[in-house]
Structure 1
């Protein structure tokens, strides 16, 4: 079935210079730009909007009236699926890992505002979460609805076309682009960029959302079951776990805020900047090479991250120096 993407965002997103951040990282002032994919789309914006233009188009073309998707409690993808569903007039059911918190905050508040239904799956791994989503979809169908299950993170071989388009935008906006640093969650954002720009120009920073980042991206690119050695993926910024506060990521969040007024969050964008900083320190990225940090959004997740909130309540709890 041929699918034409919906229009949920306003493209192209701007690129902005970040000279003070570049200098703090050890780059030349004009080496670093930030692509602001946090600025567009319903529900607060973010990189998932580009993917949802394809996955929601697929659902609408199939005659579905309900979107079912999965995520962590503070999932940006879940929040933006809720927003896309509201815009399109589709019911949205979010199947989230864990148990209902005592007081919802961050993305969960926006999920409620946007009218999404939340089903808590308990302590499950990725396979268990997907199985829970399929079970919920079956229950929805038994009630007479027509559900469409959107995979974790919205990443499919179809939806990566959203970030292939972003890669083409970047190539036009920054003709001398040498590196684009991007958080790697479910893998679709990196896969699309690689498709458009080539593996040598895309630096993915693993956030711990999938067991094997190399395999996840390679599968989305060509359906292979094994890793692609050409992919540039840093796996050193995860820390204790995906949903825990990694010190370099937190320092990166503070650094971006205090040098540029740019608000990142610790799960994805903070790790992406920390990975870029590590690449500069190690000589993988050197002064004089044009770099882009892809800002994938996720601001509500900052307010839902208990450790980050505690640090801020304590007075930031970090140096704001180079991570």
Structure 2
């Protein structure tokens, strides 16, 4: 894979750390050795995984002459926060379409990421009901923006298209270089699986370079079969873009849907436990929607001996801790 052929903005200049978390591993019974890939420390307002995707998406927007970015997400979307952040850095306007997936969850004066939307000067926020046609809603905003003489560019939710997923194919190569440099062997990788770009990109990067590191995705919203199909389709599309000669086999995609709970963004007891346990053993903050539920899934897999004793497991921390401040009542 020659990733230098694709335009990017160089938002990611240095590898994020791979951090051993022995106290946390011990708290899980000492069965495995856990390492965390700290993509919560990526650049951008409060960090997070979307910076890797936006590195490529915003480069594509600028190459096409855009001066305005339109994107979408849930009411506490980390993707929307980071898209807005990088648009601000680039001197571009940014308009957000927020999907109220849980009725009543949008708060005009809300905390967490919503507060940061206002602080960074979002140009407009359009709130739509859960289940809306988000592309159609963004296209309506785009037409309004065009009528003012601006040149908009639509980035899909999570920046999860083949352009954005390229960022996580690059991350897979980054991880392999770090493992070689640190003389560290990883037996399994666990990632949050939501809009699919992170999961799909990581699969493409690992498979396309013959790394042979199995990847488990922990779903944050959809059922297993649905999510695996979405991830696989995006992985195939991304692999084609990157020139991977072999088609990604469907068996490279593994998802677990046992940890979603009542629905997307709705707290679960296991998520609360995971967030508190990592904070109190390693001083690392998870978020309540993605990394918190993904870590809850990984904890359960450890406790149920999914991983062989002594296995080295890496958890991809996708960031999102600003959302914690919209969930104060959940943790107090």
Length-normalised TM-score, structure 1 = 0.89
* 2:228 corresponds to which of 191, 200, 214: 214
- Unpaired runs of 5+ residues, structure 2, are 239-248
Contact 1:180 1:203 (C-alpha < 8 Å) held by counterparts: yes
- How far 1:62 sits from its partner (Å)? 0.2
SS in 2 for 1:294: strand
Matched, 1:247 2:269: yes
Matched, 1:294 2:316: yes
User: What stretches of structure 1 move > 4 A for 4+ residues in a row?
Assistant: none
- Separation in 2 of the partners of 1:181 and 1:188? 14
Contact 1:10 1:41 (C-alpha < 8 Å) held by counterparts: no
- Separation in 1 of the partners of 2:64 and 2:175? 32
- How far 1:209 sits from its partner (Å)? 6.4
- How far 1:134 sits from its partner (Å)? 1.1
Cα displacement string for residues 141-192 of structure 1 (whole angstroms, at most 9, x for unaligned residues): 1221110000011111121111111111212223411111111110111111
- Unpaired runs of 5+ residues, structure 1, are 314-323
Higher mean C-alpha deviation, range 56-65 or range 276-285 = 276-285
Alignment partner, residue 312 of structure 1: 331
Contact 2:73 2:79 (C-alpha < 8 Å) held by counterparts: yes
SS in 2 for 1:34: strand
Describe how 1:110-189 pairs up with structure 2 within 5 A: 110-125=116-131, 127-174=132-179, 175-189=184-198
Cα displacement string for residues 198-257 of structure 1 (whole angstroms, at most 9, x for unaligned residues): 385211100006993112211111149xx9243121111100011200111111111101
- Separation in 2 of the partners of 1:28 and 1:207? 25
Alignment partner, residue 8 of structure 1: 11
Alignment partner, residue 200 of structure 2: 191
Contact 2:267 2:288 (C-alpha < 8 Å) held by counterparts: yes
Q: CA RMSD in A?
A: 2.1
- How far 1:53 sits from its partner (Å)? 0.3
Contact 2:39 2:318 (C-alpha < 8 Å) held by counterparts: yes
Contact 1:96 1:118 (C-alpha < 8 Å) held by counterparts: no
- Separation in 2 of the partners of 1:102 and 1:170? 40
Alignment partner, residue 76 of structure 1: 78
Higher mean C-alpha deviation, range 43-52 or range 277-286 = 277-286
- Separation in 1 of the partners of 2:135 and 2:202? 26
* 1:105 corresponds to which of 90, 101, 111: 111
Length-normalised TM-score, structure 2 = 0.87
Describe how 1:194-273 pairs up with structure 2 within 5 A: 194-198=203-207, 201-208=214-221, 212-223=226-237, 228-273=250-295
